Structure 1
Amino acid sequence: MNRTRLLASAALAATSSLLLSSCAVNEMGLDDTGSNLDGYVIGAGSSAQGAAQQAWVAGFQTAHPHVTVDYDPSGSGAGRDTFMEGASDFAGSDRAYTLDELDEGRFGRCAPDSTVIQLPLYISPIAVVFRLDGIDTLDLDAATIAGIFAGDIVNWSDPAIAATNPDADLPDLPITAVHRSDDSGTTENFTEYLNAAAPDVWEWEADGVWPFAGGEAAQGNSGVVDTVGKGVGTIGYADASRAGDLGTVAVQVGEEFVPFSPEAAAAIVDASPLEEGRAEGDLTIAIDRTTQQAGVYPIVLVSYLIACEEYVSPENVEVVREYLAYIASEEGQQAAAEDAGSAPISDALRDRAMQAIESIR
């Protein structure tokens, strides 16, 4: 993954409009809030967390005006590589590190024997978005969604689409399926759903890299949404906060078709167990993509905040710990819900996350 690591390093080095910095907040001349917290921390990773990170950075820096938090939404794969290389204090990732990655990895800013804290603090549906004139929503089952993105269903008038949308005026129009060009946790979550819910159609395992050539590729969530929005007969997948005015798919679960919503996304997380074999502060969730539970939306992104349990240097450890605690708090979760449309975590998950955060040193 040398290319990915080079891109990650370049993304951190560049001064770009994507960098979410504290500069605007600090230049506002905020009054001293009484906080003596001081420091500068760098995060990188999930672009799906982008809008939420803007809200979190603004809220945290309002409370602690002497702190600088920079978050670069370079993508989950780049963020994980950056954190492993020690070029960031924390990472945002739309999937947790696997057990194999944890066993083999050396995390640059973590003490040699430190475990890694992985906290599922951003929960959001992944929207299947499309652009068809005069059609705002479609009902699709898992096999049809998988067939479209596998390239087996190539026209919007296909009988599989018409069968679940008898009242829609479907055009005789080629389908252009858009996927991510970068290593993406959104892609990994989406392909995990396709593989679990439609294994007879989707033959590939879950992966952050799109598994085959075909369709059209775009960089980041914003790139997919932009490409779908500017096309005709296009379809893609993206964090639901980016769906905007595009048409969206209601996904079949049991006998009903469920549109995306924060509540439906939160429901599947609360119904899923933690993965086995993880360290105490590693709260990786094993999402049940094939649930038949009513009102649950199965194409969900659970995005993680990742930090060292013990850092090599004590510098800025307190800032990292307090920033993650703010994100996990009711205030932080509500800020993300309002700005990014994410689902606030449950009280039970918050309690476990706070225990893990308190162990950071």
Structure 2
Amino acid sequence: MNENGTPQNKYPGNFVADSTIVDEMFSDRAVTCPCCNGTITPQMLQNLLAQAGQLQQGQAVFRQLPSGGNGMMIDPHAHMIARTTDDYEAMARAGIVAVIEPAFWLGQLRTNVGSFIDYFSTITGFERFRAGQFGIRHYCAIGLNPKEANNPALAEAVLDIMPRYLGKEGVVALGEIGYDEQTELEDKALRAQIAMAIEFELPIMIHTPHRDKKRGTTRTMDVLEECGFDPARCVIDHNNEETVQEVLDRGYWCAFTIYPSTKMGNERLADIVNQYGPERIIVNSACDWGVSDPLAVPKSARLMASRGISAEVIHQVVYANALSVYGLNQEMQEAHWCQPAKIDQRTLYSGNSVLRGQTPRVDEEVLNPDIIR
């Protein structure tokens, strides 16, 4: 209660009820849930109120993300060809304005270079169109992943055709490349692609191995430095508590994948941001064809806000850092989503529509009343 005898609002602009209000309204009475007809006790109501209050506190901070990004987010590692249009719509609603799709394997090893040609063409072509139809700017990285580098004939063929894609519009990096089992064939492909990145003046996105991660991460950075690659132009991805210190100490961008069970949860991410600060730290979803969450970045932003991490720090981790490194070759620019083209879902790509009978979304141009035509 405040001095006027009215309930003190713990969450300004949102909730005014507190445990006292719940006690006054319900005392020892239970109520029936309108959804399932189950019983809701006063204690359950208090718990729900507390949880809702925590969410609103986080959202209040989240809404205060500084200007320049205006609360917008980038997911700089998302395998969107494996996701649905519903995912694009949900990501746009959550504040994601841009995604970067790195080339990787498809769950099954490919057997000929033609499948890579089609794949690279898709992520540099149709997928950019599809994302744009739902209000998200799509970029990509081109590379030979380490898992498929262990087929030497295929690897050589893929390396031969990669240069035709590295200069395409929307390609912001070479990746994701690195080690899987840390074989000599993987090492050979990694070194060849580092040389390509230098030639095409592209940043690199590194995939760190799931097994023996610490040794593999150190080995990767050693190779990058042997090849003369600038750490300030390289993102080391899929980090954890074992690798973060060395990656930052050696001057690389340090990315964390919020991926259920196998990589990193966002509570651990919040702890890392609290410990190390936001400099050169990036968060992504790596959402793909497996169990993964395309909303991992906005969920992480809200969780960090609820943990008391400042809006400026969150902005840096979920937006500004990714833009800084992946914007180095100028293919990715803030103006692309701050001054976007209007969405017109009547538009076709090679005669194909993203719609299946739905009414197309057509954004009308907002006319400036001060312009005399």
**TM tier, smaller:** under 0.3
In proportion to residue count, which structure has more strand?
1
- Bigger fraction of residues in helix: 2
The TM-score normalised by the length of structure 1 is 0.26
- Structure showing greater Rg: 2
Q: Which has the higher contact order (CA 8 A, sep 6+)?
A: 1
Q: What TM-score do you get using the length of structure 2 for normalisation?
A: 0.25
